[in-house]
Each structure stands twice: as C-alpha cells, then as structure tokens.
Structure 1
Amino acid sequence: MHASTKESTSPKQFFLQIITKICLLSIATLPLTHTVMAQEITITTTLSTIDNILINPDIGITEHHSFNIKNDPWWNKPTHPETSVVYFRWYWEELEPQKGQYNFKLVDDTINQAAALGKTTVIRFMTMAGVDEVYYSNSPNAGKKILGIPCWLKQKIDPNTIGETCADDNSYTVDYKNPVFKKNLKRFLTAMGERYNNNPNILRLDVGLVGTWGEWNLASHKGYERPTLGNHGYTDADLLPFPKMMKEAFPNKTLLMYLGSNDENILSHSTQRNYGWRADCIGDWELGWNHMEHGYPATFEHAQGLGNNHNSYPDPKFLQRWKKAPVDFEICYTVDEWAAKKDIYTVEKVKQTFDTALDMHTSLLNLKSGNIPEIYQPLLDDFLKKVGYRFELNTVEVTSNFKAGSPFLISSSWKNTGVAPSYNNYPVVWRLRDRNNNVIDYFETNNDIRHWLPADNKEDISPQYTQKNSFTLPENITDDHYFLDVALVKPNTQQAAIELGVEGVRQDKWHHVKSIYLMNKS
C-alpha cells in the first residue's frame, strides 16, 4: 500500500480517537491551565450582586453642621447613617465682618476637617435670618441676634441704623433690590470664588443668597402667610442677578437653585442653564397647607409652565433635568419630631416621603444630623440602597491568548440601579495582581460614568452599558496565576473611590473579578 492509502480503523481505535479529540477540545477552552494557546479565546464571568448599604462619594445622607455625628465622641447620634458629604451654611456677616476682610479660616477649617475624613462639603452663603434668631453656643457670636448681612453694610442701606455699631436687633428686612447691597454682595462672592472655585473638596454650592435662611422667601419677617418674594413686589429682573453672580464667581462648580414658589420664575430660568435644584421641608405632612401636598406640586407645575401663574421662563423638561444636574432635599423638622407625631407621620407617610425623594431622583438628603427612631429605620435603610447612583458590574468578557505582550480585550456590562447618575466622573480602571498581591499593571479606560443613567422610574429595569476596551498584556509576565481587579477611581489616580453593588470588594475598594493564568512568550 502507498503511504497515502487510508487504513481501516477498528471500533476500539475510533472510540479512542473521539475521546482524545474531546479532551483536547476541552483543554483548549480552559485558559486557567498551563496549556499553550495559539489562538485567542474568551472567558466570561458573571458577578453576583449584593444588597448592602454602600457609603459612596457625593450621595446619601449629608451631615448638617457636623462632620461625623454618628461617631462624634462629644455629641453623637448613633442611629444617624454613615455619610460622605457634610453641609455647612454661613451668614455673610460671619465671613466678611469688616469690608474687604474675609474670614477664610472658617471655611478652610470646615473643608479641611471634612476632607481629612474623606468627605466633601456643600456650602450656602446667606444674608438674612428669622426675626430674633441668635447664634448657637459654638459660634464666636453665641447669643447674639443674627444680622445676616455685615454691620458695615447695614449702616449703608438701613436708614434706621445710626452710628458705628449695630443694635442687637435683626428685625431689618433686607431690600434685595438695593444696588449698594447687590454691588457689595457681588464683590464678596468674587472673593469667595477666587479662593474656592477650584477647590476639589467642595462638592457644590446652594444659591442661597436671597431671603430668610437663604430660602428665597421672607418668612418670619413678613409672617408665614404667603411670604413669597413674588407676593412682596419682587420681579424677575430684581432676582435674576443673584444666580448669575453665583455662576460668575463659581464657574467651575455645580450650583443648586432653591425650589422657591409658584410666585417666582427663577427656578426654571436656572434649571434651563444647568443649575441643579434643592428643596427644604420634604416630609412636611402637617394638617392644612403643607409642602408635600400643596407647596411642591404647585411649584413643580409652575416650573414646567403648567400652573395658574404665568411663568416667563418655563422649563418643560424640569422633571428631567436630574439627568445632568443634581437634586437635593432637606427634611422639615427632625425625624425624632416626626416620631413624636405618629398620628401624622405614620410609617406609610414617611415611606411616601422617601419614595418622593427617590421619584425626584435625589442624590443627597439632609436629615439635620438627628437620630433615626427605630420605627423608621427599615424605611431609611431601604432608601439608602437606592438614593443617588448604585453601580453594578454584571458580566466581564476577557478575550486574549493570555501571553505576555499580546492583546487583552475586556468587554464589561454595567448597570446603575440607583435613581441618579454620578455627576462626577470616576473612570473605570482594571489591574492585574500577582499571587503576592503586587500590582503588575493598570489598564486605564478614560471612560465617563456620568453617562450611566438609571431607569427613569425606580420600579423599572435599569439600562445596561457595555464598555469595550483593548489593552496589551505587559512583557514581564511569567507563567503563573494572576488576578484581574476593577475599580471606579478618583480621577488621575489609581485610588478606588466607589464601592460597587457586587461581591468581591477588597480592603482597598478594588473588586476582584477573575483569576486567570498568563504565560510568557517562550
């Protein structure tokens, strides 16, 4: 017979050939072995989600004039949630006691103390307090009535202030039309902006320049029966300069416009220009007129141009602006005070409060740094698992021949199962660790997670975002097992910033994804 002639194969030999081919095929699809692979293959990993409360940057519950109220050794509220953001607001007179002399130390110390705890700061500058309100005991002005504006300015614009001192009386109602007031306020904001506009530890600022407590109304000074600015003679032309001067002073910072009322149009004018918005008194279910059933619905309608009052600057997309700029809330009263009125603040009503915040796609909720009564704790825990963003890495596909210097392709699928995007970018970075936990390489993606939106409605399924990245394995690989990790990092670093809603988190907040076997070129 010639060499090319086919020989007959016995059934036993045929069976052995089939088994051998099956074994070889199985080995070829297992990248975790020491087998040399000439062709690229793909490994797919599916990660398991977790139901934990995650403490992540820029979202959740914010401290209110405290830094770590849950664990403060002198004044603690042990049931208050862990936080990543602190909230402070100051009156103008505290920050510019003499014209041109600024108390930067007060702001600096606050920001730095928060940063030392890994927290960012939200700030509000205010110009007027409620009548007869005094500074608290921890202030250098303790016991003194709050003027709001500096005394030196009050002497210029209040005809009843005579002499070089201001009486201990804060009944004066600021005239927000006064050109001298506006000129000096703009100068003050310019000084603040020059110092803090590029400070990375300031998360955002409220536009709280107008009205009692910076809430864009004249409550206390004009009573509480419709104390709105529009009802007391203020026009759009009078009020529009205030958000504008904040933007000019802080062009690089996120600004939040106050919700206001349906008697003004400044909110919708601002949201069309990429300001976020915030509202106080969420959770107000008091008998008669209240914010939840009356104030909020009327203002939301007005902002969209749907209310009974004319709006010169309607924003039909007002309820969709959360996709680009944040929404923050602050509760009315304290949660302890809610619990003292259980006939009004039932479990069902408090759940409705938290659901409203989620439906509005909020990122931060201010609970006034108070305790959380046990009756409401499960509601808050559920809220904390949804507020702001919550990123889940679902599947990871790695394609390579797993040799040193070869292409290394990663396709990853992500979801945001929270209710808001991240308004700051924390890029995805991958890394390889060896068996001794030494990092042998980082793979940067330069992606932008700000585009990872959640579902429009909290009950809906979140959209999936697939990211495909191509890298090259390092040359210094030896035949061994390595670990593939992933993190959402602080920009321009390899420092993991965000804990994902999946298993595998390590002590440094990086998430372990897969163990893979890599080989050198030989």
Structure 2
Amino acid sequence: MSDTYVIYPKIIDELLENPGIGFIAAPGLMEPAGAIHDNRGNPVEKYKFTHSSRTFNHPDSRITYCGVRWRDLEVEKSSYRWDILEKKLEEAKASGCTAIVRCSPYALAEEDDIPDWFRRECREEPEFPFWRVDPLHSPYVTYWSEFIAEFAEHFDGHPVISSVDMALVGAWGEGGGTEFLEEESIRRMVGAYIDNFKITPLQALLHDPKSVKIIRERKENIGFRVDCLGDMGGFHQEEWSHMLDFYPENICNFEMEAAWKKAPVVFEACWHMNDWYLQGWDIDYIVEESLKWHISSFNSKGTIVPEAWKESVKRWLNKMGYRFELRKLTYNPMVKKGDVFRIRGLWANTGVAPIYHRYPLVVRLKNGKEVISFTSRTDIRSWLPDMDILWEEEFDLEGKAGEYSLEIGIETGIPELGNIKLAIEGLKDGYYCFGKIIVE
C-alpha cells in the first residue's frame, strides 16, 4: 500500500461495559439512596469500581437476566401474552442492557405452577421434588415444545436478546430430572429450540450427559450455562466441589470444551460472592478457572462484591467475554473521488471469548457537512482470542470532495446500547477518530 498513513492507537486497560458480557446487572445497587448491605443483611461501606460508575459495590453492566414464566406467557392453550416479555426487554434496553432470556416451565412455589389450563387438564403432581408435572405420563413434552417453537418464532433475532437458555424440564428450567426422560422426549424439546432459533445464540444447561449428548448430536452452535461457580467445598468440604471436580471433569466429559467458540458460556454464583469471601476461598483461582472455561457473563445474583476483591474482579472483567484492540491502522490519506479507498487494520481480541452477534464494523468519513459510511464485509464473530486479526478492505469512494475525519466503530444499531467500546483511546460519540483524509 503506497502513500499510506500508519497509526498505532494507544491501548487502554480501563473497564469497558459492552453488551452481552460481564456481570449481570444489579438494579438494587444502582445509586441506592440509603445504606448498602451484604447478602446476609450486614451493612457495608459504599464504594465504586470507577469514578463514573452508576452501581455501588458492584461493577456497571450492559447485560441483564430476564426470566419469564410459561404460565404468564401462554395464558390459555395457544393464546400468548408476548407483550409481557417485550415489556421486560424494553426495560432492559432502556437501562442500556442486552438480556439473557429464560422461559421457565414452572418452579417450586404454588404461584410458579404450570399454566392454569394445563393444571386443569393434569391435576396430579409427581413426588419427584423438582417436577410440578410428570413429563413421562402427561402431554408436557408436546405442550412445552409447541410453546418454545412459538417463543422462537416471535423472538429469534430480537436485537436486545443476547442469548436464550434451553430450559427442558425441572424447577426454573434448571434440568432437575432430565436424566429420567426418554431420549425421544429430550430430542423433541431440544429440536424445538434448535430448529426455530436460527439467529439468537443458545446455551444448554450442563446438567447431565444424556441431554448434552443429544444436544451435541445436532452439531449446532450451542454454548452452556452452569449455576454454581465459586463452590470450593460448600457442599462436601474437601471431598467434592464444583470448582475442583464437577466443572473441570464434565466440561470435558460432555465434550463441551470448544462450545465457547460459537456460543456463550454463562456462569451463575453458588450462593453469593460475599459467602466465598467469608469462607476464605481463593478468588484468583475462581477467576482463572472461569477464564480458562471462556466465560462471557457472570450472574452475581445482584449482591455486593467484597471491596477487598475489587482489583481481582477488575482484572476478571477485563478478560471476561470479548475485548477488542485496534493495534495498527493503515490507510491512504488522499483519494480521488470515484477511486478506491483502501484500509487495513491489525486487531486483537484480548478477552477469552468471541462476540456472538454480527454487529457491523463501520468506517466513516465525516466533516461538518457530510458523513460517508461504509459497512465492512468482515464478520467480527470470527475474531477469536489469542490470534492476530488482519482486516483489509477496499471501498468505492463517492461523495463530495473535501477534507474528512476518518472514524471507525462497531454499531449495535440500538441507541440505548451505543456502539461497542474498544480498548483504545479516541472514543467520541461511539466512534474512534484516527486522522484526516482528503477526497480530491
């Protein structure tokens, strides 16, 4: 590339809040008027992760969890209230967040039962502790599969949804008793998700080898979710724990160690982080293991992060999910109108996971009178960690002659979310400015 201009952007190490990654939002800790308490009700001193944080004792977030109940959405057989979920997604968007969504079939409390129309048809409840209805001797599998197909038809590709949990059976859809189902029943429910969600990423509960094997048979891009991160022996002391036994063994046993390359890995805290702290568990070990498993987001259940762990958690956040650096930019600074504008960038993803939505990379030429935008053909979902990413492109240059500023941004298309923040200096109104270009 002759007559070119070369820029080496300045890399920054500050916290970046971006959609789809990081700690799940903690609304109760956002600008609280009164005192802050830990999960056991004890008052704690207020602190912030950054000077501009809206959230106290917890990092700011661009991702939230959105749980909805089957009984609320399918109020009568084949009669749906999708507006309930839409309202929750609008609330997430208004707070600047994308959402992980799970539709749960039921939970343990009476008010979390299966839909009333289904209960009228099936009045008996099984003795198995995590079921409200017996999927072996009722139409549960048929009804739930039909519901999921309708759910996908209305919400696949929804711009606010980061990913969807594949709930099959059990309280809160967390898989209790999946291992007792017939394989054909599991395949039908799995198919309801995979056959109908073609755009929105999915993650499966890493619960039992039977269901995960059936999910893998489909050879689709499915991530995983697990809900006891941090447990270093809270159930069985030194004999067994999630961190030392279940996760490192079963991520491999279930052959899900490469799932992160195409779909999210989502963790939820076992108890709360404050409990880990009081138990004296090693936060740095927990962080490093989760990063090794390519975590994208973490549900802290909306409770405090112990201040003594602030720096460890900041280091965690700077690796969790994706983190894009533009390390070198080369372009031709003088172009004749109607000619080709050439640009080349050397990128790096210094996080531990890719981005799972195909947000467009946009190049803009801007002055006081005109904005000329070019949308790149590159698919940023292929920008994996620990690799050099060379981006080269040519654009046919139209527009008025004059001097322009060269800007680059990754657009989400949602004003409340804004553009993706890069780990470099130069951000202005969602775009990064790199220099001048003259159109002759």
* TM-score w.r.t. length of structure 1: 0.72
- Change beyond 3 A, Cα 1:471–1:153: closer
Distance across 1 between alignment mates of 2:23 and 2:270: 15
Secondary structure of the 1:216 match is: coil
Is 2:404 the partner of 1:453? Answer: no
Deviation readout 1:414-460 (Å, 9 max, x if unpaired): 111111111112222222233x4x544223322211111112xxxxx
The structure 1 residue matched to 2:72, chosen from 77, 94, 104, is 94
Tell me the residue number matched to 1:19.
none
Contact 2:113–2:132 (CA<8 Å) still a contact in 1? no
Distance across 2 between alignment mates of 1:98 and 1:358: 44
Is 2:184 the partner of 1:184? Answer: no
Distance across 2 between alignment mates of 1:364 and 1:96: 29
How many residues are treated as equivalent by the alignment?
A: 413
Contact 1:243–1:257 (CA<8 Å) still a contact in 2? no
Is 2:395 the partner of 1:471? Answer: yes
Tell me the residue number matched to 2:183.
236
Amino acid of the residue matched to residue 20 of structure 2? Answer: D
The structure 2 residue matched to 1:372, chosen from 302, 305, 314, is 305
Tell me the residue number matched to 2:436.
515
Is 2:30 the partner of 1:70? Answer: yes
Is 2:168 the partner of 1:209? Answer: yes
Deviation readout 1:218-249 (Å, 9 max, x if unpaired): 5xxxxxxxxxx43xx43433423222122344
Identical positions, percent: 27
Q: CA deviation at 1:470?
A: 1.8
Secondary structure of the 1:195 match is: helix
Deviation readout 1:102-144 (Å, 9 max, x if unpaired): 33332121011111223222111223424xx4xxxxxxxxxxx
Tell me the residue number matched to 2:211.
266
Higher-strand-fraction structure: 2
- Change beyond 3 A, Cα 1:246–1:69: farther
Structure 1: which 5+ runs fail to align?
A: 1-38, 134-144, 162-169, 219-228, 305-317, 456-462
Is 2:97 the partner of 1:125? Answer: no
Q: Which has the higher contact order (CA 8 A, sep 6+)?
A: 2
Q: CA deviation at 1:51?
A: 0.4
Q: CA deviation at 1:337?
A: 2.4
Contact 2:329–2:344 (CA<8 Å) still a contact in 1? yes
Contact 1:68–1:83 (CA<8 Å) still a contact in 2? no
- Change beyond 3 A, Cα 1:107–1:69: farther
Deviates more, 1:323-332 or 1:71-80: 71-80
Deviates more, 1:78-87 or 1:152-161: 152-161
Tell me the residue number matched to 1:150.
115
- Change beyond 3 A, Cα 1:182–1:268: closer
* TM-score w.r.t. length of structure 2: 0.85
Amino acid of the residue matched to residue 319 of structure 1? Answer: E
Contact 1:407–1:470 (CA<8 Å) still a contact in 2? yes
Tell me the residue number matched to 2:251.
300
Distance across 2 between alignment mates of 1:276 and 1:41: 45
Contact 2:158–2:200 (CA<8 Å) still a contact in 1? no
Q: CA deviation at 1:172?
A: 6.1
The structure 1 residue matched to 2:373, chosen from 442, 456, 466, is 442
- Change beyond 3 A, Cα 1:355–1:439: farther
User: What is the alpha-carbon root mean square deviation over aligned residues?
Assistant: 2.8
Secondary structure of the 2:103 match is: strand
Contact 1:499–1:509 (CA<8 Å) still a contact in 2? yes
- Change beyond 3 A, Cα 1:414–1:297: closer
Deviation readout 1:390-410 (Å, 9 max, x if unpaired): 111111111364444443211
Amino acid of the residue matched to residue 347 of structure 2? Answer: W
Q: Which has the larger radius of gyration?
A: 1
The structure 1 residue matched to 2:277, chosen from 339, 348, 354, is 339
Tell me the residue number matched to 2:296.
363
Contact 1:92–1:126 (CA<8 Å) still a contact in 2? yes
Secondary structure of the 2:427 match is: coil
Structure 2: which 5+ runs fail to align?
A: 37-54
